[in-house]
Amino acid sequence: MNESSIVDSALPISIRGLTKQYGQLYALDTVDLDIKSGEFLTLLGPSGSGKTTLLMAIAGFNRPDAGSIRFGDKEMILTPPHKREVGMVFQSYALFPHMSVAENIAYPLKLRRVNKSERRERVNKALDTVQLSGLGERHIDQLSGGQRQRVALARAFVFEPRILLMDEPLSALDKKLRERMQIELKDLHRQLGVTTVYVTHDQREALTMSDRIAVIDNGQLMQVDAPQVIYNQPSNAFVADFIGESTMIPLKRTGNELFVGDERVSSVPDTPAETDWSLVIRPERLMVEPGTADRDSTLFFNGTVKESVFQGETALLLVVLDDGTEVSVRSSTGTATPGITANPGSQVQLAIFRRDIIVVPTGNSQR
Amino acid sequence: MSKTSAETVVENNQTGNQFPAVSDDNRVALAEQEKREQWKLLSLTFPALVVIALVILIPVGWLFYLSFIGKAGGFSLENYQKMIEYKSYARTFTTTFQVSFLTTLICILLGYPLAYFLAQLPGRWVGFFMLAVLLPFWTSLLVRTYAWLVLLQRKGIINDFAINMGLWESPIKLVHNMTGTLIGMAHIMLPFLVLPLYNAMKKIDRDMMHAASNLGASPARAFWTVYMPLSLPGMVAGSLIVFVLCLGFYVTPAVLGGGRVIMVSTQITAILENQFNWGAASALGVVLLIATLLVLFIAGRVLKLDAALFGKS
Ligand SMILES: Nc1ncnc2c1ncn2[C@@H]1O[C@H](COP(=O)(O)OP(=O)(O)OP(=O)(O)O)[C@@H](O)[C@H]1O
Ligand SMILES: [Mg+2]
């Protein structure tokens, strides 16, 4: 693919005030979202949060109640799906069982009146790209799950759409294959340079693959940011809780300072209107028995070990802090980590660097 | 591959397994269990097999035997010879196939949109409309047939209405002919087509049509290239049921055909009533049976019937 085709193979998507109601339930609640040209954006959220609804709205399969969807400068909200020119990989793959692999992939080309020889060439190239060369004559029911997924993918990009949508395409695959396909999908995205909206409820998948992640809950976007930002600086309690493991400890506010116990955590971030704040602690950022650490840069907790769980590459320590909060501590199981062998009932000291501290608003933050 | 337990012991000893292998090797016991279960299954089907033998094979065999008995009482081929000699028999078979074919065609033309409509309905409405399809299915055949007679006759509701509306001038002959027969037959056969077709359509994933339109197919194009082929097995199954049922149908053509539409079944009755000739009637029955089996056989070959009837996609 040459330089120029990469440039015009992508199209930005701009969504404004998109709302979709099913009875009393808001599946989408005034969603505003800008997806950059060529970006890999992942919609991440719990089941029933509206991910599929949003994707279907972009593809044109459902009719929103209000709002605007623009591809580039063009308003698409009233355009029927077959004229939107977006490729889509369905969660069920939706391959046509009465056609062979090659016929499936050739289907969009046939509709676009691509002549026979070019069609064959492009189908073969697409099969090459998804590493299925030679399987063109197979029937769909003769393919494994991973192979079907790739056929679905080849069919979605063979007509060079400028937007690619994928709805949990890897959810049916086993862990090993899923991880390999994640890397292949990412590679393919780099190759095609097409604007991609990807849906998953697997947060690791989202963190691995995306340029940006849009966290969605109850039809509302909670945060749209790069994976590191989502993980390190969640902007609210939902995101902090949903992404990664975390323990929330409510903070006490005195004046403009936030405290846990007697220990000052930080000053109140200058976002008005919020009243309640919580400390978010990631299990892997807690240190056990830190010894003589610097009090200025470190926050200490004392507690009793409740349980110690071996989980393979990491071990989990459940500790009940003196104020009753239960936190988990994760550390790698190599000999590099002492302290993790602590027996239930024993006293431990935990510490976290102040720079690893996350403070999020709770309470008034939610609408 | 069968292996004696002695060999297994040796093998296990070589690999250093200290447990005796004999007690682990349940090959014989497992094989016996499987055999026992197969016998149990067979004994479950036994009553059904007996019933089939009694009510189907024996009467059909008797029919077969009778068809070779001539007027004189001995063995003879005269019943079959007559069928070749007299034109009227050939005409009867032509009519039978004609009526069956046309009825099937009408059922497809009416039934496909109907099944499609039902398949698109939201769940709570399906029950109601399905009832509308099935209600006639549950009422007596004779009642429905005579109801059509009332509707279609010269001074019937349909003629009256059409003349009042100025659609046609004088009463049209809608009954006691081919038209009436086809109307009645199609009405009675419709559920046999709609049910398997609806079933096949229900199995088509919504995403199939979404995928087609996503790839650029207009609604019409998506229908012809994706929906239609995927619903075809149900249509084939339904059409075949209708066609085969039509081949042997009696009541409706007899009543609504008014003696002008002579199907094989009608003729069999006529022969029995007028001539009391069991031999000739049996021969007709045998030929009809063979013709029906032939239709099923050819359809099975051409259309891969088992896939259509038993839902292998
Ligand atoms: N056709 C529909 N009729 C009524 N409610 C619907 C319909 N489709 C979706 N919903 C509701 O809208 C909400 C969002 O659904 P959606 O399918 O977008 O969730 P999702 O985020 O894709 O979930 P999942 O991860 O389980 O696929 C859900 O509460 C769902 O029950
Ligand atoms: Mg979904």
Query: Does residue B218 belong to the interface with chain A, where contact is any CB pair within 8 Å?
Result: yes
Does residue A339 have a pLDDT over 60? no
Q: Give the residue on A whose Cα is nearest the Cα of B215.
A: A108
Three-class SS of chain B: CCCCHHHHHHHHHHCCCCCCCHHHCCHHHHHHHHHHHHHHHHHHHHHHHHHHHHHHHHHHHHHHHHHCECCCCCECCHHHHHHHHCHHHHHHHHHHHHHHHHHHHHHHHHHHHHHHHHHHCCHHHHHHHHHHHHHHHHCCHHHHHHHHHHHHCCCCHHHHHHHHHCCCCCCCCCCCCHHHHHHHHHHHHHHHHHHHHHHHHHCCCHHHHHHHHHCCCCHHHHHHHHHHHHHHHHHHHHHHHHHHHHHCCCHHHHHHCCCCCCCHHHHHHHHHHHCCCHHHHHHHHHHHHHHHHHHHHHHHHHHCHHHHHHCCC
Question: Can you read off the two tokens belonging to residue A357?
Answer: 């501290």
Of B205, B215, B219, nearest to A111 by CB-CB distance is B215
Interface test with B, best of A56, A89, A98, A139 (most B CBs within 10 A): A98
Per-residue pLDDT, averaged over A10-23, amounts to: 94
- Give the residue whose CA is nearest to atom 1 of ligand 1: A22
The model carries a pTM of 0.79
Interface test with A, best of B207, B213, B214 (most A CBs within 10 A): B214
* A98–B211 C-beta distance less than 8 A: no
Query: Does residue A97 belong to the interface with chain B, where contact is any CB pair within 8 Å?
Result: yes
* B210–A59 C-beta distance less than 8 A: yes
C-alpha A78 to ligand 1 mean position (Å)? 22
Give the single-character DSSP code of A84.
S
- The answer to ipTM > 0.85 is no
Does residue A87 have a pLDDT over 70? yes
* A96–B214 C-beta distance less than 8 A: no
Taking only the tens place, the pLDDT of each residue in B118-129 is 999 988 888 888
Looking at per-residue pLDDT, the higher value among A261 and A196 belongs to: A196
Confidence of residue A105 (pLDDT cuts 50, 70, 90): very high
C-alpha A364 to ligand 2 mean position (Å)? 29
Give the atom of ligand 1 at the shortest distance from the alpha carbon of A54: 18
Taking only the tens place, the pLDDT of each residue in A138-162 is 999 899 888 998 899 999 999 999 8
The stretches in chain B having pLDDT less than 50 are 1-13, 310-313
Give the single-character DSSP code of A292.
S
Give the atom of ligand 1 at the shortest distance from the alpha carbon of A199: 22
Phi, then psi, of A32 in degrees rounded to 5? -115, 125
Give the atom of ligand 1 at the shortest distance from the alpha carbon of A53: 18
Buried residues in A254-293 as b, exposed as e (16+ CB within 10 A): eeeebebeeeebbebeeeeeeeebbbbbbbebbbbebeee
**Protein residues with CB under 6 Å of any ligand 1 atom:** A 22, 25, 27, 45, 47-53, 201
* A86–B214 C-beta distance less than 8 A: yes
* B217–A82 C-beta distance less than 8 A: yes
Instruction: Note whether A18 and A30 are within 8 A (CB).
Output: yes
Q: Quick one: pLDDT at residue B9?
A: 45
Q: Which fold has domain B77-310?
A: MetI-like fold (1.10.3720)
| Residue B135 CB partners (closer than 8 Å, separation 6+) | none
Q: Quick one: pLDDT at residue A2?
A: 41
**Separation CA A328–CA A189 (nearest Å):** 37
